[in-house]
Amino acid sequence: MGNPSRYTVWGKEYEVLPTAQGYKERGTASWYGMKFHGHQTSNGEIYDVYQFTAAHKTLPLPSYVRVTRVDSGESVIVRVNDRGPFHDGRIIDLSYAAAVRLGINKQGTALVDVEVIQPPSAESVRWVQVSALSDIKAAMRLQQELQRGLLPLNWPVGISTSDGERPLHKVRIGPVPEGDALNEVLAKLKNINIASPLLLAEHQL
């Protein structure tokens, strides 16, 4: 849990990096899905297969990284909030949503470049909520439509599900830094006939 200087899994010791700054690596990405959905991640958050997150063995939690497929150039930004993958030859485990975004959900693995990006501060970012739907399949279709419509910006498009007897599946883009980046996202949404989305700060999620 968290960021110990060292930890051991299956008899092998791992050393957590003191800082994420400057980290870049090429290797194999895999993904993990519904078996872990709803379980606690290593930094205490709840794993949600529809969020753009990832597991890494040594990066400080949380970190933000850009994951790029070497063969296609497709990329996605994910929040590292878990530990793994504990399989030889794999450097990052993606959420289902991130795996779909990179097109590796069916084949299982792909060669990728992983590079840390500087996370924006919580005070200067927004999440753009496009819709809240009762049908998870409709939410996933909208998620995929937004992923295509936002190209080449590559901001994460996630689904956050509320608790209760009739849960709502909220389709959100972000986090997106305020300023030019946020304006670009709003312009892209307008181009695909999505007007007046809800802008949320972190404390409103």
Confidence at 120, pLDDT banded by 50, 70, 90: low
Domain ranges in the chain are 6-117, 122-204
Q: 3-state SS of the chain: helix, strand, coil percent to 5? A: 20, 35, 45
d(CA 189, CA 30): 30
- What confidence score (pLDDT) does residue 34 get? 79
Greatest mean pLDDT among 45-49, 91-95, 102-106 lies in 91-95
- pLDDT 10s digits, 125-137: 888 999 999 998 9
With 0-12 / 13-18 / 19 or more C-beta atoms within 10 angstroms meaning exposed / middle / buried, residue 81 is: buried
Q: What CA–CA distances, in Å, run from 181 to 103, 121, 125, 126, 127?
A: 25, 14, 10, 10, 12
- pLDDT 10s digits, 21-59: 899 999 999 999 878 887 888 888 888 888 889 999 999
Give the CATH fold of the 6-117 domain: Barwin-like endoglucanases (2.40.40)
Mean pLDDT of 89-105: 93
Q: What CA–CA distances, in Å, run from 32 to 61, 82, 189?
A: 18, 11, 30
| 2 CA to centre of own chain | 18
Please state which CATH class domain 122-204 belongs to.
alpha beta
* Residue 152 in this model has a pLDDT that exceeds 80: no
Q: What CA–CA distances, in Å, run from 49 to 11, 74, 118, 201?
A: 28, 20, 24, 22
Pairing label, strands 169-177, 157-161: antiparallel
- The answer, as to whether pTM is greater than 0.95, is no
d(CA 126, CA 157): 13
- The average confidence (pLDDT) of the chain is 88
* Residue 97 in this model has a pLDDT that exceeds 80: yes
Q: Which of 161, 113, 105 is nearest to 133 (CA)?
A: 161
